[in-house]
Amino acid sequence: METATSSGIGNAIDRVEGRLKVTGMAKYASEFFVENLAYAQAINSTVAKGKIVSIDTSEAEKQKGVILVLTHLNAEKLKAYDEERPVLSVSSIQPVLQSPEIHYYGEYVGLVVADTFEQAQYAARLVKIEYEKDAPTINFEEARGEAYKPNEQSDHLRGDIDAGMAEAEVKLEATYNTPIEHQHPMELHAIIATWDNGKVKAYASQQMIDNAAITIAETFQIPKRDVRVIAPYVGGGFGSKLHAKQHVILAVMAAKMTGRPVQLTVTRQQMFTNTNLRQHNEQKISIGATRDGKLTALAHDTLSHTSTYEEYQEPCGSVSKMLYNVPNNRVTHRLIPMNIQTPFAMRAPGEATGSFALESAMDELAWKLKMDPIAFRILNDTQTDLSNDKAFSSRLLKECLRIGADKFGWNQRKMTPGTNRQGNWLIGYGVSAASRAAPYQKTSSKVLLELKNKTLYATVQMDATDIGTGSYTIIAQTASEYLGIPVERITVEIGDSLFPVTPGSGGSWGAASYANGARMACLNAIDGLKRKLNSHDKAGSIEALMIDNQVTRYEAEGTAEPSEAFKKHSVYSFGANFSEVWVDKDTGMYRIKRMVNVGACGKILNPKTAFGQIIGGLTMGAGMVIAEQSRVEPNYGNFITRSFADYHVPVNLDMANIEVVFLPEEDKIANEMGVKGIGELGITSVAASITNAIFNATGKRMRDLPVTPEKLLTAAVEEIS
């Protein structure tokens, strides 16, 4: 029944919601019109550890327009954690304002609700809070001894690492550091909450509708069916909106207590302290190979921090478990509880940071072996995931490396650092391999068919979100493909918990899940119409089927979920990054001139939105190298990076000319449509390709991100023989 149309899958059509966005008609969480809306401003602690001893709200309460000043003294009682430092998940409860204890600088300690935003903001500054200060744990170095093993899954061991290292003829031990980073989507976290007769309605900027509803329901201990979450448009998330954070609970609580709808927007400064972060990771790699380049051992030990009240562990060693053919392997993760808010997933958690360490170490070892780093990787390729002995559903890593080398002009690379010069510039080429799991989850969808003047129109519904990735467009294209009508006649309705449940946008599973869910609903609709006619072999169009059935409207639901074959395989996207970097010989400045990215990531639903995903990932990966870092003040524990003026993400001028190539790939094990995620592949290992290029240019190994002019200027040139 598949009908080729110019807007079906694989076509580079424009975003179906593009016009709404550029004309300002797409509504984001804080933009909905709600009658009688009140505005809230949250108040943050100014100590990193301690206890509130007094709060004076009298001045704030006197101000014009102030409706409520909320503190731990008058807050609603919420469900409390039932264990010490529970694991933070995408649907965890979020108790807030439940005690006078302070766990980190910037923790929410109050909320002012007023008739206007300005009144709330002003009154919030008049709340006087006194603290009893305690010495916070904010120094990673000093707290090293407090590291603990989170759980059994934190470690992976196979073979004998010591024997493998002993067997190695060439080896490397090196430590790589990545700093605290913040997700910082453009759209601030925001919510408009209403509480009406025990029923919650929340316009909230969230990546996962269903999980947000669970968090709200469980925190307030109300039935989930009484919570409706709406997020038709989300201005980026990068992981920070996977989970409904404390501000969501604060707004719902304020709505309940005031009886008015309440809008709460988290400020950019609060996004440093209250909407999670990527923690600092110290990654130690021990790696060894035989003289001819066969890996014998790889150990990847990560030390990170979590908060004192919740646990999150970024799986930095995930790539080291599965990327190469290495018989002896150890991956460990340890956490230090610190007085910094709980870290949580940031784009490619595990891969973005872990592949920086692994792919830097691979480059270092290749150099020691005097091998070409591409040949070295290809020599150690594997078609089996040795961490679980499952075959990869598809794996075109070697092809990515070879084709990328060709596109990039890798054969022009000079192997010895510092030998490619032009004026004051030292020029270097770098490469890295990338892998990112391509998960896929149970997804339901509903399709409503309608005949108007014998012309078929369709509406597809699911509680998916579009976080800027192109969900609307690829869902429309999928429906176009299977219903055989152009996207102009398809309406996509997403971002509402009234619609069928999806896993939401995150973990690179959005595209595969949404597309397969939409496909099943479409196929079920067609099948249903045929059954209705009691004949399965009715040929002809859906219009004809509906006319035969004498219906003008028809609806069907469908659910897609991972197959047995999926579960029996390791399902990943693969890629290769190439960077050309020009380093100023004197000043510590450098420029990324060119990047080539090759990806093997299943069926590309829309080359245009896919390209956008990859260049976004490459830019964010380059940002890890160029400047991105959140600095914690060592005496007070606050973030001294407070805005985009000092939290440096790349600007256009920083970015290279980028070439993106997608290798054609058929992978029906991944899912029926052969779609794999690419939202996170793009950022994976980019950083290493750049720092490897810096080494090739200068002979300096940059193992601590970001590579600031200060670090590059003061780094020593490694012995080059």
Q: Which residues are catalytic?
A: 680
The answer to whether residues 483 and 527 touch, using CB atoms and an 8 Å cutoff, is no
245 Cβ contact list (under 8 Å, min separation 6): 94, 189, 274, 275, 276
Taking CA atoms, 317 is separated from 329, 352, 488, in Å, by 10, 11, 45
E strand residue ranges, 515-632: 553-560, 572-584, 590-600
> In the structure encoding, which two tokens stand for residue 159, read together?
């073979």
Closest approach, Cβ 618 to other proteins, in A, equals: 16
Contacts (Cβ under 8 Å, ≥6 apart) of 138: 48, 338, 339, 340, 632, 634, 637
Q: Measuring CA to CA, how many Å separate 372 from each of 407, 573, 581?
A: 17, 24, 18
Segment (H or E) for 370: none
SS3 204: strand
Report whether 686 contacts 619 (CB < 8 A): no
From CA 96, how far away is CA 94, in angstroms rounded? 6
Selection from 149, 55, 68, 137 nearest residue 103 by Cα: 137
Q: How far apart are CA 222 and CA 454, in angstroms?
A: 46
For 116, the token pair is 């206007």
Tokens 């300005």 locate to 118
CA–CA dist 485, 661 (Å, integer): 29
CA nearest neighbour of 159 among 389, 330, 291: 330
The three state secondary structure string of 40-107 is EEEEECCCCCEEEEEEECHHHHHCCCEEEEECCCCCCCCCCCCCCCCECCCCCCCCCCCCCEECCCCC
Going by the DSSP 8-state scheme, the letter that residue 18 receives in this structure is: H
User: Please, what's the b/e burial string for 424-463 (b: 16 or more CB within 10 A of its CB; e: otherwise)?
Assistant: ebbbbbbbbbbbbbbbbbebbbbbbbbbeeeebebbbbbb
Say if residues 499 and 461 touch (Cβ distance below 8 Å). yes
Burial of residue 708, with CB atoms counted within 10 A of its CB: 0-12 exposed, 13-18 middle, 19 or more buried = middle
Binding site for other proteins (CB under 8 A): 46, 118, 121-122, 125, 424, 586-589, 591, 626-627, 631, 633-636, 638, 640-642, 644-646, 648, 650-654, 706, 708-710, 713-714
Rounded to whole angstroms, the Cα distance separating 670 from 89 reads 25
Structure tokens belonging to residue 558: 């469908």
- How far is 191 from 306, CA to CA, in rounded Å? 26
Under 8 Å between Cβ of 605 and 477: yes
